[in-house]
A and B are shown apart, each in its own frame.
Chain A
Amino acid sequence: MKIEDKLQDNYKYGFITDIETEEFPKGLSEDIIRLISQKKNEPQWLLEYRLKAYRHWLTLTHPNWQYCSIPPIDFQSIYYYSKPKTKKNAYQNLDEVDPELLETFEKLGIPLTEQKRLMGVAVDAVFDSISVGTTHKEELEKVGVIFCSISEAVEKYPALVKQYLGTVVPYSDNFYAALNSAVFSDGSFVYIPKGVKCPLDLSTYFRINAKETGQFERTLIIADQGSFVNYLEGCTAPQRDENQLHAAIVELITLDDAEIKYSTVQNWYAGDKEGKGGIYNFVTKRGQCRGKNSKISWTQVEAGSAITWKYPSCILLGDHSQGSFYSVALTNNFMQADTGTKMVHVGKYTKSTIISKGISAEKSQNVYRGLVKIMPSATGARNYSQCDSMLIGDECAANTFPFIDVKNSTATVEHEATTSKISADQIFYLQSRGFSSEKAISLIVNGFCKDVFKTLPLEFSVEAVKLIEMKLENSVG
Chain B
Amino acid sequence: MIEIKNLSASVNGSEILKGINLTVKKGEIHAIMGPNGSGKSTLSKIIAGHPAYEISNGEINYEINGKMKNLLELDPAERAKEGIFLGFQYPIEVPGVSNFTFLKESFNQICEAQGVEKMDDETFLKHLRSKLKTLEMNESFLERSVNEGFSGGEKKKNEILQMAVLNPRLSLLDETDSGLDIDALKIVANGVNALKNRFNSTILVTHYQRLLDYVIPDYVHVLYKGKIIKSGDKSLALELEDKGYDWLIKDS
- Chain A: residues with CB nearer than 8 A to chain B? 1, 424-426, 428-437, 443-444, 446-451
Shortest distance from the beta carbon of A3 to any chain B beta carbon, whole Å: 10
Assembled-state Cα–Cα distance A443/B97 (Å): 7
Q: What would be 28 A-B contacts, judged by CB atoms less than 8 Å apart?
A: A1-B51, A426-B92, A426-B94, A428-B48, A428-B50, A428-B76, A429-B88, A431-B75, A431-B80, A432-B76, A432-B77, A432-B85, A433-B102, A433-B166, A434-B80, A435-B77, A435-B105, A435-B109, A437-B75, A443-B94, A443-B97, A443-B105, A444-B97, A446-B96, A447-B94, A448-B95, A449-B96, A450-B97
Closest to B145 in A: A447
Chain B residues in the interface with A (C-beta under 8 A): 48-52, 75-77, 79-81, 84-86, 88, 91-92, 94-97, 102, 105-106, 109-110, 113, 145, 162, 166
A424: B residues at CB distance < 8 A: 51-52
**Closest B residue, CB atoms, query A450:** B96
Shortest CB distance A465–B (Å): 12
Main secondary structure of the interface of A (DSSP, over half): helix
Residue A434 contacts which of B51, B96, B97, B110 (CB distance < 8 angstroms)? Answer: B110
Chain A residue nearest to B86 (CB atoms) is A432
Give B84's nearest chain A residue, CB to CB: A432
Structural contact, B51 and A447, CB atoms closer than 8 A: no
Verify A431–B94 contact, CB threshold 8 A. no
Give the CA-CA distance A329 to B175 in the complex, in Å: 39
> Which chain A positions have C-beta within 8 A of B166?
433-434
Q: A1-B51, A428-B76, A447-B145 are in contact. Are A434 and B94 (CB under 8 A)?
A: no
| CB of A42, distance to nearest CB on chain B (Å) | 48
5 new A-B contacts, CB < 8 A, other than A432-B77, A434-B113, A443-B94, are A428-B49, A429-B92, A430-B94, A435-B77, A449-B96
**CB contact between A437 and one of B77, B86, B88 (< 8 Å): that residue:** B77
| Cβ B96 vs Cβ A448 within 8 A | yes
Q: Which 5 A-B pairs have the closest CB atoms?
A: A447-B96, A431-B76, A447-B97, A450-B96, A429-B92
With contacts A426-B92, A447-B94 taken as known, whether A432 is within 8 angstroms of B49 at the C-beta atoms is yes
Which residues of A have CB within 8 Å of B96?
446-451
Q: A433 near B106 (CB under 8 angstroms)?
A: yes
How distant is the Cα of A447 from the Cα of B147 in the complex, in angstroms?
Answer: 13
Residues of B within 8 A of A437 (CB): 75, 77
Chain A residue nearest in CB terms to B146: A447
CB distance from A458 to the nearest CB of B (A): 16
- How far apart are the CA atoms of A449 and B94 in the complex, in Å? 12
- How far, in angstroms, from A437 to B109 measured CA to CA in the complex? 13
Q: How far is the CB of A102 from chain B (nearest CB, A)?
A: 39
